[in-house]
Structure 1
Amino acid sequence: MTVEQKLVLITGANQGIGFETAKNLICSGNYHVILGSRDSAKGAESVKALESLPDTRGTASWIQIDVTDDKFVDAAAAQVASQYGKLDILVNNAGIVSLAPPSRETFRKILDVNVVGALSTTEAFLDLLRKSSEKRLVFVSSSTGSITHAANSSSPYYSSLGTEYRTSKAAVNMLMVMYQARLKDEGFKVLGADPGLCATNFTGDPESLRKRGAAEPGDGGHRVAIVVKGEKDADIGRVLGDYGVSPF
């Protein structure tokens, strides 16, 4: 008897943590992962890279989606509905960061991708998730978005840098909590996943991140993937990181 694949959509998955999460899933289980990518060429290249991996247990495809553009988001949902008729797991991973001093323009851009984009994508795919017995919704967050850490001068996450990004992740945490409260009676499992500081190209300088002790991208992908797989379901409605539950 053939076991049906679990269908996962990961936004911003043509590189970095999103790509590594997809890699972990198709190498470790019977998943079909749809890589959400703004750039169609990069999406296709990333799928080829996954398909070239040895001994994969799952499969992958890509879909074009810009989480800041309602037309792209709605078209992506319509495409998944037409091809598959449902979605088992949505991973809101797409995000951007700025290392420059805070500015109005940058703040608006980061909130548009990291927060509004996550809400827009979630709302567009909710009905497809409702058609699944899995109904799993994962928000990729960060311990840098913890207000508890940010207010504690002895915390490793105490810093005045990254104002817009950190604020956006605090908002993502609230978004996750609100969706859990809203959807729990429908059988949804809503969680946050913190990949930790990883030496991806997210900041444009992975080597400087390694010098700061950053983990490798595959480690971050693993941390998100275990939440996707349900290994942290004892803490639904919380943000799960390498060290356990991240305080809000």
Structure 2
Amino acid sequence: MASQNKKIVLITGGNQGVGYETAKNLVVSSHDYHVILGSRDPSRGEAAAKEIQAAEGVKGTVSSTQIDVTDDKSVDAAAERVAAEYGRLDVLVNNAGIVSLASPPTREVFRRVLDTNVVGALSVTEAFLNLLRKAVHKPPRLVFVSSSTGSITHASDPTSPYYNPGAVEYRTSKAALNMLMVMYYARLKPEGFLVFGADPGLCATNFTGDPASLRARNAAEPWEGGERVATVVKGEKDSDVGKVLGVYGVSPF
């Protein structure tokens, strides 16, 4: 069991990519964190947790739990396990997500992307809210991993680098996620919650299945994206609570 002195952090989709690197950043940089890697595949989650725990200079601790954000029973079971083992949660990072680069968009893919990226984030948040209310390390933090590609301001501006018709399903899901974040911010602010959107930027992860092509587009390395999300978890961006925070500052909605 993690020390009761540590901040308990759950990161969905934490066994790879930006979620993995966020977890690694937290536990390598500080003794203050115990990170739970939420993973759809339990064996991958366990392997990722062991790998991070064995990293050179690691200070915090890591474990894993099975969670499929599109499966209500899986989400509720994960919340029950965290409640039984820790009795609370200090930080929730809704990181799990999928992308589609197909063109034109399809109804089937759009439903699947929204189910994971938006409905899944709501499902996990609702399931873990009471555990966040029991946070020992106040204030409790709720982080939605978003993207500047979901900014309607950018998408409608011909001078913006995000002005293009690609990745319709993914970008629309992130615009919806930004609204979801704002709704939770308004709802939970009276309870003392800090709610954020965190944009890791374009990173050369396996998210699209082709990290090499992402590097060719000058994508950041995954550890850089993880660092950007970790700064929000650590409280380094608290002056911009309720907003989407990216590498260039606050992302317009």
Q: Identity of paired residues, percent?
A: 70
Report SS of the residue matched to 2:14: coil
Report SS of the residue matched to 1:191: strand
1:201 maps to amino acid:
N
Distance 1:65 1:49, change over 3 A: same
- TM value normalised by structure 1: 0.98
Which consecutive residues of structure 1, in runs of 5 or more, have no partner in the other structure? none
Which residue of structure 2 aligns with residue 193 of structure 1?
198
| Residues 86-126 of structure 1, C-alpha deviations (whole Å, 9 max, x = no match) | 00000000000001120000000000000000000000000
The one of 232, 239, 245 equivalent to 2:250 is: 245
| Cα distance in 2 for residues equivalent to 1:159 and 1:27 | 38
Paired residues, number: 247
Q: Give, in angstroms, the shift of residue 52 of structure 1.
A: 1.2
Q: Aligned ranges for residues 72-87 of structure 1 at < 5 Å?
A: 72-87=74-89
Q: Aligned ranges for residues 71-150 of structure 1 at < 5 Å?
A: 71-101=73-103, 102-132=105-135, 133-150=138-155
Report SS of the residue matched to 1:139: strand
The one of 156, 161, 168 equivalent to 1:163 is: 168
| Cα distance in 2 for residues equivalent to 1:153 and 1:76 | 44
Question: 1:199·1:206 contact (CA, 8 Å) conserved in 2?
Answer: yes
Q: Give, in angstroms, the shift of residue 4 of structure 1.
A: 1.1
Q: Give, in angstroms, the shift of residue 3 of structure 1.
A: 8.2
- TM value normalised by structure 2: 0.96
Which residue of structure 1 aligns with residue 46 of structure 2?
44
Report SS of the residue matched to 1:123: helix
Which residue of structure 2 aligns with residue 177 of structure 1?
182
Segments of 4+ in structure 1 off by > 4 A?
none
| Residues 149-175 of structure 1, C-alpha deviations (whole Å, 9 max, x = no match) | 000011011110000000000000000
What do you get for the CA RMSD once the two structures are aligned? 0.9
Question: 1:89·1:134 contact (CA, 8 Å) conserved in 2?
Answer: no
Is 1:17 equivalent to 2:18 in the alignment? yes
Report SS of the residue matched to 2:242: coil
Report SS of the residue matched to 2:176: helix
Which consecutive residues of structure 2, in runs of 5 or more, have no partner in the other structure? none
Q: Give, in angstroms, the shift of residue 134 of structure 1.
A: 2.8
